[in-house]
Amino acid sequence: MRVVDRRSFIDMPWANGGGRTLELFRLPHPERSGAFALRMSVATVAEGGPFSRFAGVDRLLGLLEGEGMALSLADGRRLMLDAPGRVAAFPGEIDVRCRLLGGALRDCNLMLARDWGRGELERLTPADGETVRLEAGDLVLLYLQRGEWARGDEALPPGGLLLLESESVALRADGEAVAWLARVTRFDRADGRM
């Protein structure tokens, strides 16, 4: 298990001035220089508007905090993120417009190159003292949004990120803990299947 302290995250403003992104983790694409295979980030959205486009990328977007947003996609779909924990999935190359349902909000983004793998994103809200077991998978990322998290007697850094590759771990949660779990399955490079 690798632990990434929040001091290692990269904070960047959006080009359009509508918010900021805190990049938690980026994995370079094995075959395309400068591209990512996987990117996980947290964004602070200050105002509505168009989303950036990411060709060949599948996006999963979950609401961390705030009243939420309504997404209008160019294919006619309308997606609502109106409660913390709601997740929307859509292709990165499609035009998406965002309308805030209240004030500023924070969201969690998982983006995966479509030719590299697929993923799932979910919010975990364990009871105080509960043990969360993360089973072995290709790649598991856990963003510790809030609360206290520990592995055995080892306290994990608040607001940090855990990375597990083909390994399992048990974590104890306290202090009204909330985390975001991303499970990623990589495609087999030989035949394009998982």
For residue 19, pLDDT over 90 is answered with no
Same domain, 41 and 80: yes
Q: Are residues 59 and 98 in the same domain?
A: yes
List the end-to-end C-alpha distance of the chain, in Å, as a whole number: 23
Give pLDDT, residue 14: 78
Provide the phi-psi class of 193: left if phi over 0, else alpha when psi is between -120 and 50, else beta: beta
Q: Which of 99, 116, 133 represents a domain boundary (last residue)?
A: 116
pLDDT at 190: 43
Whether the CB-CB separation of 187 and 116 falls below 8 Å is answered with yes
Please write the tens of the pLDDT for every residue from 133-157.
998 778 999 999 999 999 999 999 9
Looking at the predicted structure, is the pLDDT value of residue 130 above 90?
A: yes
Same domain? For 20 and 70 the reply is: yes
Q: What is the arithmetic mean of pLDDT over 157-169?
A: 93
Greater confidence (19 vs 62) lies with: 62
Q: Are both 127 and 71 inside the same structural domain?
A: no
147 part of a folded domain: yes
Question: Could you tell me the residue range of the domain that residue 171 belongs to?
Answer: 119-186
Identify the pLDDT of residue 15: 64
Specify which residues 40 forms β-bridges with: 25, 110
Closest CA relative to residue 159, chosen from 173, 175, 170, 148: 148
Specify the 3-state DSSP secondary structure of 110: strand
pLDDT above 70 (res 189) = no
Confidence of residue 191 (pLDDT cuts 50, 70, 90): very low
